[in-house]
Structure 1
Amino acid sequence: MKQMKNICLVLALVLVIMGSCSKDYLEKYPITSPTESTAFQTYDNFKSYLYPCYGMFTDATILTSVTNGFPQNAQYRGDYYANYLTFKGTSQQNPYAWQTIEDAVSGNGWNFSYIRRINIMLDHIGDGSLSVEERNHWKAVGYFFYCYWYMELVNHFGNVPWVNTTLGTSSEQAYGPRVDRLVVTDSILARLKWAEENIGDFSAQDGANTINKNCILAVISRFTLREATWRKYHNLGDYNNYLQECASASKQLMALYPTLYTGTDGSPASGYGEMWTTESLDGIPGVILYKEYFANTNYYCNSSYIEHTSSHNVEMPQHTVDMYLTKNGLPIHNAANTQYAGDKTPYATFRNRDPRLYQTVMPPFRVSSTPGDAPGWSYTSDPGDREYIDIMGPNLSCSNPGIGMKRLPSQNWSATVLGAVPNFADGTSSATKAFVSCRSGYYVWKYYDQWETSFNNSALNTSDKPIFKIDEVLLNYAECMWEMGQFTQAIADETINKLRDRASVAHMTLASIGADFDPARDQSIDPILWEIRRERMIELMGEGFGFDDIRRWDKAAWYVNRQDYGMWINKSEITGSLLNTSTSQADNTGMTQGYRFLFNDPVKSGKGWLDKYYLYQVPTNEIALNPALDQNPGWD
């Protein structure tokens, strides 16, 4: 991607030079000016033409994209919609729980501009001086991008028009109806399989971090699991072939990427956390494709930076915290779980828990703001206040940028040390500051680190972000094998237990998972499948997969309709906030302690998930332009 970026910079420079020429020059094209019929002559022509398609990976309409900007507008949004996460604002209830999704007049992900671009290239694949191998390579790359975008169109809308040629404004196909979902998905799979078999090894010309066969396999793994389970749980049938393709693609990648990244910082599950906070992902085990960022030219706006400020909006509700196992591999509600310390203090809530919780949510601590054994802070007289400082590692430098990944105590963009966590947004304690605050008490810091440059109103974050990685593929394979009736202890060991080994969590042991393994689970779900889904939820937390997952499982209501509340606290710690000892809507103003009340119960308030939300609304402007398009159920 670096080489391709340089080509685009050269092209941009040429356009600037042309723009500075005389008026006469601008009134006519030079003889050598490329047109559609002459633009596809050389290998580099095709490379330059398809480079903008890499923008799909930062497109905000795809919930798993690594969009530049505030993380709450990117990957976090998919897990917010799934109600895995919440937003801080008192009026920022889950829009699907509270039925505040607005009608889509335009947009909504209904966009075929990438498809048109790729079709133009495919129409000219035989032009120029390319060899057969080179033509097949660029056709395969084109198919990859075409299918990547199309699988998201299907994910949003179900039936969509199938456009496999360049359309003019008068083309009859441009005003055709939506095509049956199975016809479209079978066509997507056929193109991905062709691409898998025909893409060449041209990394020397394209660059190492560009589309290759492994990227195609990663997309097949994601797409086929998504489509198979959607078809199964939405009673559409015809899903076995998709499961088989998921198993095949996933297994190939697992053989190619046998090692997980274990990190360098030394904190629990550091490889899990550092995947999102590492300067360069080049050569990092398990990374298949990543988005590169560079100082001064292409930096990642507001990733680590925003999580050092009061503008960060993302929290975790108590019901999601409760999904994290203890280190012995047991759910917190398991009757035999002696490691669970309860949740009546923040320190107890995090104690003995899956370290992926520490890497996702800032654990509790308290320090003195007076100078002591490190610049800017010192330990309090209570040894308990340093429990998680010792686990995560002390922030000894307190400079900006500092040293290391997720160190405690945390600090804001100006390097001012935060005195305590939890730090409630309406707290009055002198030990707290306005920045790095939340309502629930569980402050999400997935992209936070100490080393990236962060200062007010100028984000210069440069850590790379993964696009495809083996961690997801392991989870795809585990779930796929269960759906095929082939999930065994051996499969658990080569998938879920590899992830648990990195996190220092005890193995999943199938023989011990019975109906009473987690009394708090959705009782309609097989207990082993529940644990597979739990592992996916925890491992991919904050990466945007949640909303797509709960939709394909046909379980959105179970996740979205839960009332959101925060940690157990004393009322004296906050001002102007309600407490509740259950998930009721009661205004328990006479209580002195309880779970922090965040939002009302959506169902008891007459709201809740609507089944029409399983498919997105086709924009009304598109139907006005093309009356042959029909609307998805419930949106008329």
Structure 2
Amino acid sequence: MKRLFISLAILAGISLSSCNDSFLEKTPVTDLTENNAFNSYDNFKAFMWPCYEMFTNNTIRTSLQGFGQDGQYKGDMAAGYFQQKYESGYNEFAYQTVASVASGNGWDFKSFIRRVNIMLSHIDNSSMTEAQKDHWRAVGYFFHSFWYMELIDRFGDVPWVDQVLQEDSPEAYGPRVDRKTVADKVLERLQWAEQNIGNFTSQDGDNTINQDCVRAVISRFGLREGTWRKYHELGDAEKYLQECVRASELLMAAYPTLYTGTDGQPGAGYGEMWTTEDLGQVPGIILYKSYVKDINPMGMSYIEHTSSHYVEMNQNTVDLYLMKNGKPILADGSGYHGNKDMYAVFRDRDPRLYHTVIPPYKVKSGKGDYPTWSYTDNPADREYIDIMGANESCSNPGVGMKRLPGQNWSASLVPEIPRLGTGAFVTCRSGYYVWKNWDNWETSFNNGNLNTADKPIFKIEEVLLNEAEAKFELGVFDQGVADKTINKLRDRAGVVKMVVADINDSFDPNRGKYYPKGNESGILVDPVLWEIRRERIIELMGEGFGIYDIRRWRMAPWFLNKPATGLWMSKEEAMKNNMTLYNPETGYSDGTDGSLTEGNLYLFNDPLKEGKGWLDKYYLYQVPTTEILLNPELEQNPGW
């Protein structure tokens, strides 16, 4: 049975004039007011339900709100892992098109923060028991801290608001508070919540905020703040990293099993995490967003079957995926089959690539109510159909998670991949079409509001990655840690285990760089740390963590200051598809001048040759100018 984040405020009938919340404005008008509505346990529960909308707030880059480029993919598009398929879809950070903002930009202390503070202010005078009071204070601290974790990441120093502010409150017009002071308060509140949150599942319901959720946020926040403080040279990183490890290990003990899936494909547990009807039955899920037909459906699978899906991967990101033997593509003995066609690029690669980008294939079209198909005479065309499983009937809805050949929302056949272009369904410019949420069982017939696959919010896979990275930063990462973290993920994916002793400076010739302040040439990342980070990028690909990660690592220039390219192609093929080619040795050409006979598809101009590229000011967001006009005590972030 699916459990929902359905607000109970409608049932409670609370109308609070002091909280201008659009959700509550839709509730029935009764004689309940702020002064008499906060009494029972259920009153507090009803009032706090709208805070679950925090997980779908579109100012958070890991948000589940919206489809594709406007939802969970947004953070990885900003990081340069993905891009939009249109010629105007270049990265705003790489090409310095980030607009100055007068309002918004995630600078929000009124909606969620105000709601939490209102609730907290009424706890002591309620009729609840002391244990119940502690529970709701802990839940309030959880949501307050989760939102502040995002505020700190965006702006650094921010005002600290822990009371209900009125228009004439002096605190509403104070200065920004030092980042460390705020971060310490966030950590203290999360620690208090962890120790005092109650076990009230029978009253709150399953799939609600509990101790494990608090620990998941401590794990995330500890790593995020600790590494930010280290690589941005702010000091006092170790405390946060140690808290990340402590919380992570408690969760690892509580969730020892990874989901291996039911579909039978390589890496099925990884792929099914985003295409499963009920994540409440899946091991390793700590909290999830539930979708139910006719109540709160979602459209992620549907949109990926249409021409409105704009998200594609570039060659730089594809090249990050390991071979199944655990080696980078350029490493000695990797067995990489080359990049001269998409079949070779995908051959013997980490199966997580197949669950993120549609593998190549080609079939013959047939006839019938639903399009039939048959194999071509070329055995290579069915290589990935055999791996992913054949879509025998092409019915809509069909069977299983991801099947080949694909079909669009109306069950029209996608006869081949790659499928270049920008107009027709299931097309992209790079050739690497992202389909993380695609499945065959959800009804998609021209209606995005039919999809019901649940989506994870907190899961043990992220915790394992947090643990591995934090342990390295603390100087205690070894083979034992690798086996408990990264190698559990690789075992599930079907990739050979990491052997720490084998990783040296030559392990990956294309190892990434980070850029300390004032160092424009960059420094190579430690080879073991690079493999830990690679695992994080691949495992969490398409979940929005990218823009957080490349900023806290100070690696944004390495990911963004390079041309975005696609498949390798001959000049003849490129001209047939009206595409431009790029070769790192000779530059780019449209093929008409004869200077380039083959190369990668050229998607966007080289940002550095354009005189653009990542700016250090992008590490922090701009404080909206209207906020500074309203409160002259606020100072702008550097460079804005």
Specify whether residues 85 and 495 from structure 1 end up closer, same or farther in structure 2 by C-alpha distance, changes over 3 A only: same
Find the partner of 2:625 among 613, 620, 623. 620
User: Secondary structure of the equivalent of 1:265?
Assistant: coil
CA contact (8 A) 1:53 1:145 kept: yes
Q: Percent identity?
A: 59
Distance (whole Å) between structure 2 residues aligned to residue 245 and residue 457 of structure 1: 45
1:217-228 equivalent positions in 2, closer than 5 A: 217-228=215-226
Q: Name the aligned partner's letter for residue 82 of structure 1.
A: A
Q: Name the aligned partner's letter for residue 454 of structure 2.
A: D
Task: Map Cα deviations across residues 235-290 of structure 1 (whole Å, 9 max, x no partner).
Answer: 00011110110000000000000000111111110100000000110121000000
Distance (whole Å) between structure 2 residues aligned to residue 154 and residue 193 of structure 1: 18
Task: Map Cα deviations across residues 583-620 of structure 1 (whole Å, 9 max, x no partner).
Answer: 76432522342210101100011000000000000000
**Which is worse superposed, 402-411 or 587-596?**
587-596
CA contact (8 A) 1:317 1:564 kept: yes
Distance (whole Å) between structure 2 residues aligned to residue 315 and residue 4 of structure 1: 31
Residue in 2 aligned with 1:410? Answer: 406
Residue in 1 aligned with 2:446? Answer: 456
Q: How far is the alpha carbon of 1:214 from its aligned partner?
A: 0.1
User: Secondary structure of the equivalent of 1:586?
Assistant: strand
Residue in 1 aligned with 2:386? Answer: 390
Q: How far is the alpha carbon of 1:577 from its aligned partner?
A: 1.4
Residue in 2 aligned with 1:298? Answer: 296
Specify whether residues 44 and 583 from structure 1 end up closer, same or farther in structure 2 by C-alpha distance, changes over 3 A only: farther
User: Secondary structure of the equivalent of 1:454?
Assistant: coil
Find the partner of 1:629 among 630, 634, 640. 634
Residue in 2 aligned with 1:18? Answer: none
Residue in 2 aligned with 1:366? Answer: 362
Q: Name the aligned partner's letter for residue 96 of structure 2.
A: Q
CA contact (8 A) 2:83 2:311 kept: yes
**Which is worse superposed, 118-127 or 481-490?**
118-127
**Which is worse superposed, 457-466 or 197-206?**
457-466
Is the aligned partner of 1:425 residue 2:427? no
Specify whether residues 263 and 583 from structure 1 end up closer, same or farther in structure 2 by C-alpha distance, changes over 3 A only: farther
Residue in 2 aligned with 1:5? Answer: 6
Is the aligned partner of 1:556 residue 2:561? no
**CA-based RMSD:** 1.8
1:472-491 equivalent positions in 2, closer than 5 A: 472-491=462-481
Distance (whole Å) between structure 1 residues aligned to residue 86 and residue 426 of structure 2: 14
Q: Name the aligned partner's letter for residue 89 of structure 1.
A: Y
Distance (whole Å) between structure 2 residues aligned to residue 37 and residue 587 of structure 1: 70
Question: Runs ≥4 in structure 1, deviation > 6 angstroms?
Answer: 12-15
Task: Map Cα deviations across residues 39-66 of structure 1 (whole Å, 9 max, x no partner).
Answer: 1100000000000000000001000111
Q: How far is the alpha carbon of 1:460 from its aligned partner?
A: 1.1
Residue in 2 aligned with 1:547? Answer: 547
Distance (whole Å) between structure 2 residues aligned to residue 634 and residue 134 of structure 1: 47
TM-score normalised by L of structure 2: 0.93
Is the aligned partner of 1:446 residue 2:436? yes
Task: Map Cα deviations across residues 375-419 of structure 1 (whole Å, 9 max, x no partner).
Answer: 511111111100000000000121111111100000000001111
Q: How far is the alpha carbon of 1:33 from its aligned partner?
A: 1.5
Residue in 2 aligned with 1:526? Answer: 526
Q: Which runs of 5+ in 2 are unaligned?
A: 17-27, 514-523
Distance (whole Å) between structure 1 residues aligned to residue 244 and residue 371 of structure 2: 52
Specify whether residues 375 and 604 from structure 1 end up closer, same or farther in structure 2 by C-alpha distance, changes over 3 A only: closer
Task: Map Cα deviations across residues 301-335 of structure 1 (whole Å, 9 max, x no partner).
Answer: x2000100111101110011000000000000002
Is the aligned partner of 1:605 residue 2:603? no
Q: How far is the alpha carbon of 1:571 from its aligned partner?
A: 3.4
Is the aligned partner of 1:96 residue 2:93? yes
Distance (whole Å) between structure 2 residues aligned to residue 328 and residue 49 of structure 1: 52
Distance (whole Å) between structure 1 residues aligned to residue 4 and residue 622 of structure 2: 39
Residue in 1 aligned with 2:23? Answer: none
CA contact (8 A) 1:4 1:207 kept: no
Q: How far is the alpha carbon of 1:9 from its aligned partner?
A: 4.3
CA contact (8 A) 2:73 2:544 kept: yes
Distance (whole Å) between structure 2 residues aligned to residue 508 and residue 471 of structure 1: 16
CA contact (8 A) 2:113 2:144 kept: yes
Find the partner of 2:246 among 235, 240, 248. 248
Specify whether residues 359 and 366 from structure 1 end up closer, same or farther in structure 2 by C-alpha distance, changes over 3 A only: same
**Which is worse superposed, 79-88 or 588-597?**
588-597
CA contact (8 A) 2:15 2:32 kept: no
1:37-52 equivalent positions in 2, closer than 5 A: 37-52=35-50
Residue in 2 aligned with 1:26? Answer: none
Distance (whole Å) between structure 2 residues aligned to residue 40 and residue 262 of structure 1: 44
TM-score normalised by L of structure 1: 0.94
Distance (whole Å) between structure 2 residues aligned to residue 336 and residue 455 of structure 1: 47
Residue in 2 aligned with 1:24? Answer: none
Find the partner of 1:309 among 289, 306, 310. 306
1:266-277 equivalent positions in 2, closer than 5 A: 266-277=264-275
Residue in 2 aligned with 1:76? Answer: 73
Q: Name the aligned partner's letter for residue 369 of structure 1.
A: S
